Structures are given as structure tokens and as C-alpha cells.
């Protein structure tokens, strides 16, 4: 872990991952720009420590995952992950697989804080997994995406094929799996892989705008809403209805801010806001 300090406290990070805090946003940067942020085992271990630390760090309200330099990430490191695990023991190979699985999907998919992938450049193969497992994604229009696995003789493994099937339709997904053809941020937006694509010089500004909207929401309800959506989509209708009713009750119960009560009172009694236009006035709002 690095020894960088912010507000007198250590900042998580390591050789391959850099973290900066800025007004509630934790900027998490994959930091191997000379290797186009290819994901090595060391990077996976750093990312696991960083995500664990940020989940319980009150300087972080939203995580933005991005890459240093000209890449978001060129995918799994062909040398340090694939070749390096060819001739090692099963235990060593499992260690590498587990480290990557842990942060790329197991942790990210149900992370307790909102996550935004900010795709600043190259995004290939294995990088699709953390991209898809972030809640939201914003890309530079000229970012370049590709399921390049077919081009070097492997399948989109790890969990890439599963991940793309959750956002892309079968025709499009199979087209890119089978051809390895590249596409840009605009096309990624049309495919539903990212929420929006913006000109490169607007990327950070737009990401901050979206992060700020999230930071203004009641964090308890925001967390519950994200989790409810992610679990309910896997359920049958009857199960989802039961679960969501229970989740809604639980949300009211655990919400110390009493958002539901305030939201109703400010709209129905005080008539000071309209939910259709924005969030109710929270304590500390000016």
C-alpha cells in the first residue's frame, strides 16, 4: 500500500493503482500506462486492497474507475497473467484467478458504494468485466473497444462472455466476439455498454457532474436501490415482488435520514419541492 496522505490519513493504493480523493469522489486509476494498463496479478492485488479500503472510507462516496494515460485498460496482461500462469502450480494459477475475479466482478457487482467507469481510451477483452460491473459508464467518443480475444487465439473467458451478455444483445455480442472488430465510444453507447459517450475534453467534467448527482442523494436509499435492482433482475416476478416489498420496508427501517417521511412531507404538506424535478431537501443542504 502507498503511504500517500490526504487530510492526515493514508490513501489506499499501490504501484499499479493510484487513488485520489476529491469532494467525495474516489478516483481509482489503473496505473500501468506504459503497458496500457494491462491487468497484471499485482494490479489485481492492489485493486482488491483499494476496493476493500474504499468501501469503509468516508472520504469516498462514489468510486470512479479509470486509467492513467491513453488506456482504460488493454485487458488481461498477456505476459503477466496468461503466459506467467502457464507453467505454475495449480495453487499459483488459482491465486492469480482468484485475485482477478475478486475485484473485477465479485466485489464490484455488489459494491456498497456507487461506481462509475470512466473509459478514457483503449478497452479490450478482460477490461469489459470491470467496465460492465460498474453501475454506470461514461466513455470518451474516441475510446477504442474490442473483444480481441479471437485475434490471439482464445475465447472471451474469465467471465467476459457472461458479462457482455448482460448488456449486449446476442447478435451484437456474437458479432464482436466472432470478428474481434474494434468500435468506438459512440458505438459503445449504442450497444448499451456505456451510458453515454462524450468528447474527450468533456469526459472528466461529465463524469464529475454525474458523480455529484449521486453524491446529493440519500446514500442509504441509493445503496438499497442499486442492490434491489441488481438482485431483482435475477428473480422471477413473484419472487421479485416479495423481495422488493421487503427491501422497501427495510429501506425505510434502516434509513436514519428518514428520507421517505421527509420526501412525502416536503411534497404533500410543505409543497417545497417536486420529486419529478429533483431530490427532497436533505439536512445540511443550502
Q: What is the 3-state secondary structure (H, E, C) of the chain?
A: CCCCEECCEECCCECCEEEEEECCEEEEEECCHHHCCCECHHHHHHHHHHHHHHHCCCCCCEEEEEECCCEEECCECHHHHHHHHCCCCHHHHHHHHHHHHHHHHHHHHCCCCCEEEEECCEEEHHHHHHHHHCCEEEEECCCEEECHHHHHCCCCCCCHHHHHHHHCCHHHHHHHHHHCCCEEHHHHHHCCCCCEEECHHHHHHHHHHHHHHHHHCCHHHHHHHHHHHHHHCCCCHHHHHHHHHHHHHHHHHHCCCCHHHHHHHHHHHCCCCCCCCCCCCCCCCC
The nearest distance, CB 152 to ligand COA, in angstroms, is: 6
Q: How far is the CB of 9 from ligand COA (least distance, A)?
A: 34
> Nearer Cβ to ligand COA, position 37 or 251?
37
Q: Which is nearer to ligand COA, 61 or 130 (CB)?
A: 130
**Site of grid cell 456505456:** 194
Where do contacts with ligand COA occur on this chain (CB under 6 A)? 35-36, 38, 74-79, 122, 124-126, 148-149, 152
> Smallest distance from the beta carbon of 82 to ligand COA, in angstroms?
8
Tell me whether residue 9 or residue 79 sits nearer to ligand COA (CB atom): 79
Min CB(78)–ligand COA separation in Å: 4
CB of 8 to ligand COA, least distance (A): 37
Shortest Å, Cβ 251 to ligand COA? 39
Nearer to ligand COA, 160 or 211 (CB): 160
Cβ-based nearer residue to ligand COA, 28 or 30: 30
CA distance 202 to 179: 31
Taking the least distance from each CB to ligand COA, the nearer of 151 and 166 is 151
Q: Which residue has the cell 434502516?
A: 254
Q: Which is nearer to ligand COA, 123 or 211 (by Cβ)?
A: 123
Tell me the closest approach of the beta carbon of residue 175 to ligand COA, in angstroms. 17
Amino acid at each position: 500500500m502507498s503511504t500517500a496522505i490526504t487530510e492526515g490519513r493514508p490513501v489506499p493504493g499501490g504501484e499499479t493503482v493510484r487513488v485520489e480523493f476529491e469532494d467525495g469522489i474516489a478516483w481509482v486509476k489503473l496505473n500501468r500506462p506504459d503497458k496500457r494498463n494491462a491487468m497484471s496479478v499485482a494490479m489485481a492485488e492492489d485493486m482488491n486492497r483499494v476496493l476493500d479500503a474504499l468501501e469503509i472510507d468516508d472520504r469516498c462516496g462514489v468510486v470512479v474507475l479509470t486509467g492513467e494515460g491513453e488506456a482504460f485498460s488493454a485487458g488481461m496482461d498477456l505476459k503477466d497473467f496468461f503466459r506467467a500462469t502457464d507453467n505454475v502450480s495449480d495453487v499459483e494459477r488459482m491465486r492469480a484467478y482468484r485475485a482477478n475475479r475478486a475485484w473485477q466482478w465479485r466485489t464490484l457487482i455488489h459494491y456498497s458504494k456507487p461506481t462509475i467507469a470512466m473509459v478514457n481510451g483503449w478497452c479490450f477483452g478482460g477490461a469489459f468485466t470491470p467496465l460492465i460491473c460498474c453501475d454506470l459508464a461514461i466513455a470518451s467518443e474516441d475510446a477504442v473497444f474490442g473483444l480481441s480475444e479471437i485475434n490471439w487465439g482464445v475465447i472471451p473467458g474469465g467471465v467476459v462472455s457472461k458479462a457482455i451478455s448482460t448488456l449486449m444483445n446476442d447478435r451484437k455480442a456474437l458479432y464482436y466476439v466472432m470478428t474481434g472488430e474494434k468500435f468506438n465510444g459512440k458505438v459503445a453507447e449504442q450497444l448499451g455498454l456505456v451510458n453515454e459517450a462524450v468528447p474527450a475534453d468533456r469526459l472528466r467534467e461529465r463524469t464529475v457532474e454525474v458523480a455529484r448527482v449521486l453524491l446529493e442523494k440519500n446514500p442509504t436509499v441509493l445503496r438499497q436501490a442499486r442492490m434491489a435492482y441488481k438482485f431483482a433482475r435475477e428473480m422471477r416476478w413473484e419472487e421479485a415482488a416479495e423481495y422488493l416489498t421487503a427491501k422497501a420496508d427495510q429501506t425505510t427501517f434502516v434509513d436514519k435520514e428518514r428520507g421517505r417521511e421527509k420526501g412525502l412531507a416536503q411534497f404533500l404538506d410543505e409543497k417545497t419541492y417536486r420529486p419529478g424535478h429533483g431530490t427532497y431537501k436533505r439536512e445540511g443542504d443550502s
